[in-house]
Amino acid sequence: MVRAPYKEVQNFTGSGAGNQKIWMVFTNYNETTDFEFDCEDDKKGLYSPFEKGTIVQNLFFPYEEYELGRSNKTISTGKTQGCLSSLQMPAWGYKALVPKEKFIANRPAVTKFTPGHDARVRSKVAPGKPQDVEIGLVFTNEMDCDKLKEVISVSSHTERVDVKVSIDLESAICQKVENPETPPLVGSPQGIWEFKATLRDVYDGVHTVSVSNATTKKGGFYTSVNAHDSSVASN
């Protein structure tokens, strides 16, 4: 299917992506399937709203690209309509395809926090004593490590109101994830970069780790998380 303005009554010029069409492809097969199409047959081709030779890119992870072949049809501009002769779709998969030059990457996002959101951390020290807790954050993009250290913080609710938990930033580790996990849901972004650090003076209680608008290492149209992310752990 195609998502686009209804040209008789709608004109989005100057707003967002304007009047850009989006080609959407879905499958309800419950297993990864390789589809084959006949671009010379009106009933067996996978026809796009774009002309042949266009390289289209998926707006969802893994952001793959396809070059459209020729067909025996034409689009509204009179040019040959682009078509795909084959396409692999994951189980219950979907794709939203636009011309590559119109593709805009998503903002960076946090995909994982350890020990986990609302996690329960077992105390390994005597009552009334503090302990160290290892934490980790995984992002969809390679982040600016120094700037991340500036925007990560922790707040606590414990009996020891006179002692504040600190993040040991001197020993913090910033690195690419060696074996990125494949997201379990179609379209979910992959975590490729991680930050690891140690919380010091952690007393029994509830502790919230927050990241406020972290930025990527490389520039781009969307370089920041543009959000305030928080995860809670208690021990």
- In whole angstroms, what is the distance from residue 3 CA to residue 105 CA? 19
- In whole angstroms, what is the distance from residue 59 CA to residue 62 CA? 8
Model pTM score:
0.82
Residues 6+ apart with CB under 8 A from 228: 210, 211, 212, 213
How confident is the model at residue 59, as a pLDDT?
Answer: 96
Delimit the domains of the chain by residue range: 2-102, 110-234
How confident is the model at residue 229, as a pLDDT?
Answer: 57
How confident is the model at residue 230, as a pLDDT?
Answer: 57
How confident is the model at residue 127, as a pLDDT?
Answer: 86
How confident is the model at residue 231, as a pLDDT?
Answer: 57
Element counts in the chain: helices (H) and strands (E)? 1, 17
How confident is the model at residue 106, as a pLDDT?
Answer: 86
At 147 the three-state DSSP class reads helix
CB atoms within 10 A of CB 207: 22
* Domain 2-102 = CATH 3.30.70: no
Identical fold between 2-102 and 110-234:
yes
- In whole angstroms, what is the distance from residue 93 CA to residue 95 CA? 7
Nearest to 176, CA basis, from 164, 157, 160, 191: 191
The pLDDT profile of the chain, 235 residues, written as one tens digit per residue, is 999 888 889 888 888 888 899 999 999 999 999 999 999 998 899 999 999 999 999 999 999 999 999 998 998 888 999 999 999 999 999 999 999 999 998 889 999 999 988 888 888 999 889 999 999 999 999 999 999 999 999 999 887 878 889 999 998 999 999 999 889 899 999 999 999 999 999 999 899 999 988 888 875 444 655 555 555 555 5
At 169 the three-state DSSP class reads strand
Question: Architecture of 110-234 per CATH?
Answer: Sandwich (2.60)
